[in-house]
Amino acid sequence: MATPVSNEALSLTSDKNAYKVGDTPVSTVLAKKSCFLTLVNLDDKGTATVLLPNKFQQHNKVKAGQEIQFPGQKAPFQFRMQDKGFEQVIATCSESADVDGIKNNFAKEALTTVPNFTRGVAGAVQAD
């Protein structure tokens, strides 16, 4: 189990410290208060992609003290490491579903790309 990263509202833990290209990481998030959870992946090239909510898992309201695994065991998708380098998963706990003006359009794309997204709790992992 990787070392958890946390702030006052969230704790984010990855199942490993390092991955290989093609691996499917699983993150565990614990929110200390009920909120809308947003998970964003920031890659080495600076591309940010919203992992949660997504086309398949649009409901992102979590209860205080409820441990969430992403992706869940029954999720109809996988998060797969695609490139070598460092990746950051950023978790944000918000009182509203609108986080930093992110506009999801699930009819158009399964995952939303976001320029310049840098808030929240982040944990970095490396893929070899």
Is pTM beyond 0.85 here? no
More confident residue, 3 or 45: 45
pLDDT tens, residue by residue, 70-108: 998 888 888 888 888 888 888 888 887 766 667 778 888
Whether the predicted pLDDT of 20 surpasses 50: yes
pLDDT value of residue 97: 73
Burial of 77 (0-12, 13-18, 19+ CB in 10 A): middle
pLDDT value of residue 6: 47
52 neighbors 39 (Cβ within 8 angstroms): yes
